[in-house]
Chain A
Amino acid sequence: ETGVTQTPRHLVMGMTNKKSLKCEQHLGHNAMYWYKQSAKKPLELMFVYNFKEQTENNSVPSRFSPECPNSSHLFLHLHTLQPEDSALYLCASSQGLAGEGTQYFGPGTRLTVL
């Protein structure tokens, strides 16, 4: 595997389900990010991790819970989601401290909440 990978690529869940999104970067980067992309809207930054430590929570509802066990892996745990949470969820990584390098993105997880 190369670059940034995300699984699953597609996810359909009910509002009462609990699921997790996984991201893995194979670039040796130190910073990782979660973004939300809704149709016709700019990418919205959700969370930022530097060397496994969360440095940013961009006013994200608590039904989204990130986890970063090491610099290569990032998870987004989902529970009690709403239909308006349906979107493309993108993971990105960058070299050095958050913001110091170019961000490289994974292919995204297309989430549909019924």
Chain B
Amino acid sequence: EDQVTQSPEALRLQEGESSSLNCSYTVSGLRGLFWYRQDPGKGPEFLFTLYSAGEEKEKERLKATLTKKESFLHITAPKPEDSATYLCAVQGQVDYKLSFGAGTTVTVRA
């Protein structure tokens, strides 16, 4: 069974204080690793898909990287509007279902 573990559970940052979120996974053949952002009371918003180890993708202050066992979401010089819960999910080659982690809730203080 595919498993996803995200850490830390919560992260409080000062505006401009860069940090990283971790997503560790086990999957029988990775089809894709997905990052989503979720604001309170809203549905997850798609950010990135990573397909193979060594791949990196960037969007504004966010950069996602992938190894064979984990993915990192780096937040560079965060702003208060980056406050959200970030979800990681994996999809295996055998089972098309997405397996989600519990998320990391990021709070950025001005």
Contacts and interface: CB of A to CB of B under 8 A. Distances in A.
A108 B100 contact: no
- B interface majority secondary structure: strand
Interface of B: 4, 31, 34, 36, 41-46, 49, 87, 89, 91, 96-103
B102 A105 contact: no
Main secondary structure of the interface of A (DSSP, over half): loop
Contact of A106 (B31, B43, B46, B89): B43
Interface residues of A, number: 25
Contacts of B31: 99
Given A92-B43, A98-B96, A102-B49, 5 more contacts: A42-B103, A99-B91, A103-B34, A105-B46, A107-B42
A99 B96 contact: yes
Interface in A1-50: 4, 6, 40-43, 45, 48
